[in-house]
Amino acid sequence: MTQKADSRVTARSIADDLRDQIRDGTLGPGAALPTTRELAEHYGVTMKTVSSGVDLLKAEGLVVGERGGRRRVRSDRPITWNLTRFERGRRRDSAAMDDWSTAIKEAGREPAQHVEVATLPASKEVAGWLGVEAGTDVVVRERMRTVDGRPFQLSTSYFPASIAAGTPLTEERDVAMPGGILNAIGHPQLRVRDEITVRMPSPEESERLALPPGTPVAQHVRVGFGELAPVRAMVTIAPGDRHILVYELEV
């Protein structure tokens, strides 16, 4: 850690210096920051000023606190989510794992999905995605996706009840079929349309995904179309610190 030459050290300048050390690897993923007292002595400021500077890094999601007051550099291993390959062409679904879980497994990580199912009236937004009247019954499959035991995605799929009723889509468990469930029940997705929004999470999303303060999320909406109409709308909330989103396009 380099001693600051400027005598007018502020919380902001402390945060800037520590951020530079995190970015250049001097303070690597999982590394413990010096104690507040050590930083105060190093920068020649009060411990209150140091705490304010470290709080800025916590708000940015670069530093996390532990029980006992020690602060560490975040050490999450992000996943690379290739949205071009996801659910495309020769899907990787099997009887044991769907396309998403298979991709995570192939990357050497451990996937799991925890499923809840309900039949609800479509909101105006969901109705717009599915091309139905607002209030029409839709089957909702909400999945908490975890990687190595940690929450990584909230993924909620909406299906017209006329398509999903009486099929495995209504089963409250992690169901998978070769080629995908929609294909297996006679309603294959022939094309998809993606919408991606980057935003701050809601309080519920922050809690369920265990997000540190200041962590944005990507909201990925994929609408799947059959021959005549949409057959599914899937909304995935992906924490920005745990994902690298990839598209591969021919130009």
CB 217 within 8 A of CB 201: yes
Task: Quick: pLDDT tens for 61-108.
Answer: 788 887 667 888 987 788 999 999 888 766 777 778 889 999 999 999
213 has pLDDT over 80: no
Cα-based angle 216, 74, 8 (whole degrees, multiple of 5):
90
What is the token pair recorded at 7?
């005598």
* 171-210 pLDDT tens trace: 999 998 888 999 999 999 999 999 999 999 999 999 999 9
Grouping H, G, I as helix, E, B as strand and the rest as coil, residue 99 is helix
CA distance 109 to 101: 9
| 200, two tokens | 């701050």
Locate CATH 3.40.1410.10 in the chain.
79-246
Sort residue 148 into left (φ over 0), alpha (ψ -120 to 50) or beta: left
- Report which secondary-structure segment, H or E, holds 39: helix 36-43
The dihedral over CA atoms of 132, 188, 244, 175, expressed in degrees to the nearest 10, equals: 100
Mean pLDDT of the chain: 91
Tell whether the model's pLDDT for residue 139 goes beyond 90: yes
Structure tokens at 71: 């602060």
CATH for 79-246 (2.40.420.20, 3.40.50.150, 3.10.50.30, 3.40.1410.10):
3.40.1410.10
Please give the model's pTM, rounded to 2 decimal places: 0.78
In the predicted model, is pLDDT for residue 1 greater than 90? Answer: no
- Report the alpha-carbon distance of residue 251 to residue 157 in Å, rounded: 31
Cβ within 8 Å of residue 149, ≥6 positions away: 110, 112
In the predicted structure, residue 245 carries a pLDDT above the cut 80: yes
Question: What does the pLDDT read at residue 64?
Answer: 83
Higher pLDDT, 141 or 214: 141
User: Who wins on pLDDT, 68 or 217?
Assistant: 217
- CATH 1.10.10.10 residue ranges for the chain: 11-73
Selection from 47, 51, 49, 57 nearest residue 15 by Cα: 57
Q: What one-character DSSP code corresponds to residue 240? A: T
The pLDDT value given to residue 202 = 96
Indicate if the pLDDT at residue 122 is higher than 80: yes
Q: Does domain 11-73 have CATH number 1.10.10.10?
A: yes
Residue 190 confidence (pLDDT): 93
For residue 108, the model assigns a pLDDT of: 92
Q: For the packed helices 11-23 and 47-59, what is the interaxial angle rounded to 10 degrees? A: 50
